[in-house]
Structure 1
């Protein structure tokens, strides 16, 4: 019986330059692993590899398997080595052993081993996209220019400042009849802590509507939309964007190590918390202007607390007295290392910022933690 788990084909189309690195197995990598329910490919690859994004080089085509990109919970993954000594991960296939039937009055019949396929439910996903989808659907990052120029709701047919399902709202633009639009309210401005410059405005979805009557702004006549879904109060001033603009997700992500020069910090989390863990969404202060790409994997790093030498011995700079900090001098302060504590994968790229999913953390990540290209 062939048992399989989904490894997205796209996931394995990484540029070979990205996977040309020498594979480094974890010191405690097992020789076999039984896939468990709830596993993701990142979880599994992290068990075997120091650099999980190099999974395609570890996984090889098994000619006994029609589709090597499918495995399921319960499958046994075995770590083997090829003729060149390179590690290889394969799925152990269940086969029917030779069967010999020897009743007294019948001839002996030998059955050759065969592979039988049995469809299974719920294959293991490349990444849990359902974690990303709500944030993509409900939140967005807009520039100052977009906030200043996008059309917006000017009122409703009831004369209220807010509306719910079934109301008609009016928009100061010539919208296309029959087309659906999303409405957003402008939340906080995101400031880059490193440059003090604006990264954009975080906007949140208030509802969706369909245009039922075109406007003519040359005659100061707004377009009319019928609200078909309201997530929260829809108010005058809510920005209007074509539905799904900038919101569509690929079915699968091609992962690659980020550009070696890339370095930034975490500036916000989807939950607005100060600490966050695996499968939470965060924003980093680097985007397309910094060569960030969808699928980039970055290491989360944190600077170890500063230590200074004082007359009483080494002390943490944060807790040392003001006198000790002033008199210790630069030469007395140690250059403390940055320690890795996890990885993130970029799934949405703006001009100056990006959204990323935390793939793994050994301890809670925090605002202002460093994100950088993983070290080889």
Structure 2
């Protein structure tokens, strides 16, 4: 009987929360009944035409966000139509009208799997220049750098390289395109002090060049039996020969800042993964903090990248939209008790948290997430909170971790040591 009651209560709770969620979906009064997607449109921009809260875009489609997993399915020439089903707003495609517009791409299918959406989808937001960097992590594991290939030489023994330069790397095992980066600082959790990874700065892109390795081909069978597959012997002296590898030639495709000798290389494995995703609210409560701001600056604004100390383990995934908040703070107020000659009374009063902007997650790891700031009312700083949108003026809990008391003998020891170092007699 008790289990049955609990089940009913849970079902009622789900129904109430579902009704509350449905009520929260507000369509703008000037939302277009029919909209033709145009070149240059972004998903965030179209969402703003229909909703006050663009991160609720997936709910407007009348299904979970798997129905439209990413903006690849929305492309210029399509016609979007707003309808109401049982009083609920639903947005969908008018296929017939879309074809009449004459802009729907027609692709002849071959008997194999193809990515049909590439080249026709729209971006979630117009990130322009930053897009190249946002497809890759800004915080990576330290071990990844320890084993990463690196640039070892370039033209004229220079230390800095620019676009078009031929450079050479050690440690590359497969051809392709590589991001050039260097580590700038370690990232730790502000609460637990646990090491989370190292922040890196990307400076450009290099791509491998084909080359002929005649020296490796000419090694003897005896040498081949005693050396790794990619090594041969170089004779530096009639009596001395040393194992040698051949550096991988590359060309600098892009150099957005200084590409330096010694920089590390990261293989670009997700070139087809464009900055396209369906924005959505988090699936559960998130209480994250900004632990780093890309490029090492102290404050961030619109379209800049931030790193959060929460990741996949906390329910974050690509497209999750979070509110950015200046946490609640306590102020001391000196009040008078109203009686003649009475003493003043000091009270601590909490100032509610203020919503300072919105950010969307574009890359996650187990315990970290990179996000782009979509909107900002004021500057975002390290230590600011990232949580569900819509909590402006919420008096969020803001407890400081408890520090255990130090034993009296420790105080005495520290005091005596200080006096000795300062030549002060107690």
Structure 1 range deviating more: 49-58 or 256-265? 49-58
Structure 1 range deviating more: 223-232 or 130-139? 130-139
State whether residues 175 and 223 of structure 1, in contact with CA within 8 Å, keep that contact through their aligned partners in structure 2: no
Describe how 1:1-376 pairs up with structure 2 within 5 A. Answer: 21-26=21-26, 29-30=29-30, 32=32, 40-49=42-51, 51-59=53-61, 69=74, 81-82=84-85, 84-89=86-91, 116-119=100-103, 125-128=123-126, 130=128, 132-136=130-134, 140-156=138-154, 158-164=156-162, 165-171=164-170, 173=171, 175-176=173-174, 178-199=175-196, 200-210=198-208, 212=211, 213=213, 215-216=230-231, 220-229=243-252, 231=255, 232-242=257-267, 244-245=268-269, 249-250=273-274, 252-270=276-294, 272-311=296-335, 328=346, 332-374=347-389
Q: Does the C-alpha gap of structure 1 residues 193 and 248 become closer, same or farther in structure 2, counting only changes over 3 Å?
A: farther
Structure 1 range deviating more: 244-253 or 30-39? 30-39
State whether residues 299 and 344 of structure 1, in contact with CA within 8 Å, keep that contact through their aligned partners in structure 2: yes
In 1, distance between residues paired with 2:89 and 2:304? Answer: 32
State whether residues 184 and 206 of structure 1, in contact with CA within 8 Å, keep that contact through their aligned partners in structure 2: yes
Question: What secondary structure, in the 3-state scheme, does the structure 2 residue paired with 1:333 have?
Answer: strand
Larger helix percent = 2
Q: CA deviation at 1:202?
A: 1.4
Count of aligned pairs: 314
State whether residues 300 and 380 of structure 2, in contact with CA within 8 Å, keep that contact through their aligned partners in structure 1: yes
In 2, distance between residues paired with 1:206 and 1:117? Answer: 40
Q: Which residue of 1 aligns with 2:111?
A: none
Q: Which residue of 2 aligns with 1:65?
A: none
Q: Does the C-alpha gap of structure 1 residues 338 and 168 become closer, same or farther in structure 2, counting only changes over 3 Å?
A: closer
In 1, distance between residues paired with 2:100 and 2:286? Answer: 48
Question: What secondary structure, in the 3-state scheme, does the structure 2 residue paired with 1:335 have?
Answer: strand
In 2, distance between residues paired with 1:359 and 1:19? Answer: 27
Structure 1 range deviating more: 294-303 or 334-343? 334-343
Q: Which residue of 1 aligns with 2:219?
A: none
Structure 1 range deviating more: 220-229 or 191-200? 191-200
- The two structures have a TM-score, normalised by structure 1, of 0.65
In 2, distance between residues paired with 1:128 and 1:161? Answer: 35
Larger Rg: 2
State whether residues 138 and 205 of structure 1, in contact with CA within 8 Å, keep that contact through their aligned partners in structure 2: no
Q: CA deviation at 1:350?
A: 2.8
Q: Does the C-alpha gap of structure 1 residues 306 and 92 become closer, same or farther in structure 2, counting only changes over 3 Å?
A: farther
Q: CA deviation at 1:372?
A: 1.1
Q: CA deviation at 1:233?
A: 4.7
In 1, distance between residues paired with 2:356 and 2:55? Answer: 16
State whether residues 169 and 250 of structure 2, in contact with CA within 8 Å, keep that contact through their aligned partners in structure 1: no
In 1, distance between residues paired with 2:271 and 2:366? Answer: 15
In 1, distance between residues paired with 2:265 and 2:290? Answer: 28
Structure 1 range deviating more: 253-262 or 304-313? 304-313
In 2, distance between residues paired with 1:293 and 1:217? Answer: 46
CA RMSD for the aligned pairs?
4.4
In 2, distance between residues paired with 1:269 and 1:33? Answer: 40
Any idea what the Cα deviations from partners look like across 1:3-26, whole Å, max 9, x if unmatched?
Answer: xxxxxxxxxxxxxxx999415244
Question: What secondary structure, in the 3-state scheme, does the structure 2 residue paired with 1:134 have?
Answer: helix
Q: CA deviation at 1:264?
A: 1.0
